[in-house]
Amino acid sequence: MKNRTGSLFIAGVLVVAMLSGCAGGEPIPAEDEATGDTGSLEASQQEASAEKSNDISQKKIGICIYNFDDNFMTLYRNELVNYLVDQGFSEENITVENSELSQEKQNKQIQDMIDGGIDVLIINAVNTSESATITDMAVGAGIPLVYINREPDAEEEQRWVDNGWEVTYVGCDARQSGTLQGDIITDIGLEKIDKNGDSIVQYIMIEGDPENIDAQYRTQFSVKALEDKGWSVKCLFDEVGNWDMETAKALSKEALEKYPETEVVFCNNDAMALGALMSIKAAGRTVGDDIYLVGVDALTEALDDVIDGSITGTVFNDYFDQSHRAAAATINYMKGAGNDHYIGCDYVKVTKENAQEILDRIK
């Protein structure tokens, strides 16, 4: 505790020093700082150290990804590293760890990176409910922290605000993705969706990791979009597919056998929608004809399926925008410019009309 307070104090002094050295968000050039009575040797030392602190090619970034097997986070991770390199970071100064679904492992990776000397941490937490531990490690060591993709809860985010810590979250609001999934279905119209004509939409839901706010909100808000249009809905089956294609394939097989009256399959992401599609085909059902299927992410394979009609629609989870914003937040912290504690972005509804356009953007 003593140590932590000590480093917090040092971190605080550094932040104040960096901020007071800024005019309009930009650091004062070394030359300006070195004017006045300062001796020339001292001035050139100051210049050298100021240059060093602004030279991002020398800066070390530590990144932890919750699970390298996740398709979407693989696209995100690759884009993040490429973009950081484009911005001037050197690849050998960027450490990327696979936390392999273990928060314990991730905490150790973070501690090791802190001990080894790191300038900024970019963390995709395994269990967001344990984010406070990660934040305390980073803040205690005086290291700015950028959370990505898996949003910590409101109470945790409030601590960053209340303490003025250099901690931020970069991501989209998952409620929007759920709503857009529901909109894709309501845009088609109840007459088409309601195959058995009972004026109730029978659906199945395949959820991502239940601890993840993206999974919780997509599950809730996709259905809410139907209800908000005055549609009646009936949930036949709701199971956890953990963002995984094979798991979703097995779950949808089971659901479609038990509930042939299924009219809509909601999947919290595209990997699971691709799995569900295999079982839909195997059950002799046809998307767009006697069943409707939606996902989230806009993976290339899913976009191809949206274009040929075998997936009704998806929602673009813009990993370009998110990773670029995460990189910008990292650079801001390094320059002492600071960041808001929440950096948002927008999801985009994808149907047959714009799927090719999104595909062209990501290819």
Which residue's CB is nearer to ligand GAL, number 208 or number 338?
A: 208
Q: Could you tell me which stretch among 11-19, 69-77, 83-91, 94-102 binds ligand GAL (CB under 6 A)?
A: 69-77
Sheet strands (E) in the chain: 22-23, 26-27, 61-65, 94-98, 120-123, 145-148, 167-172, 200-207, 232-240, 264-267, 292-294, 314-316, 342-345, 348-350
Which residue's CB is nearer to ligand GAL, number 128 or number 332?
A: 128
Which residue's CB is nearer to ligand GAL, number 241 or number 336?
A: 241
Binding-site member from 221, 243, 292, 333 for ligand GAL (CB under 6 A) = 243
Using the rule CB under 6 A, is 173 a contact of ligand GAL? no
Residue 47 to residues 26, 41, 44, 52, 301: CA-CA distances in angstroms?
16, 10, 5, 9, 52
Using the rule CB under 6 A, is 269 a contact of ligand GAL? yes
CB atoms within 10 A of CB 61: 23
Residue 209, helix vs strand vs coil: coil
Shortest distance, CB of residue 208 to ligand GAL, whole angstroms?
6
CA 160, CA 163: separation in Å to the nearest integer?
Answer: 5
Q: Measuring CA to CA, which residue among 144, 62, 98, 72 is closest to residue 338?
A: 144
Using the rule CB under 6 A, is 266 a contact of ligand GAL? no
Binding-site member from 135, 176, 212, 314 for ligand GAL (CB under 6 A) = 212
Using the rule CB under 6 A, is 214 a contact of ligand GAL? yes
Using the rule CB under 6 A, is 150 a contact of ligand GAL? yes
Shortest distance, CB of residue 212 to ligand GAL, whole angstroms?
5
Cβ–Cβ < 8 Å for 121, 143: yes
By CB under 6 A, name the binding residues for ligand GAL. 70, 72-73, 149-150, 208, 212, 214, 243, 269, 296-297, 317
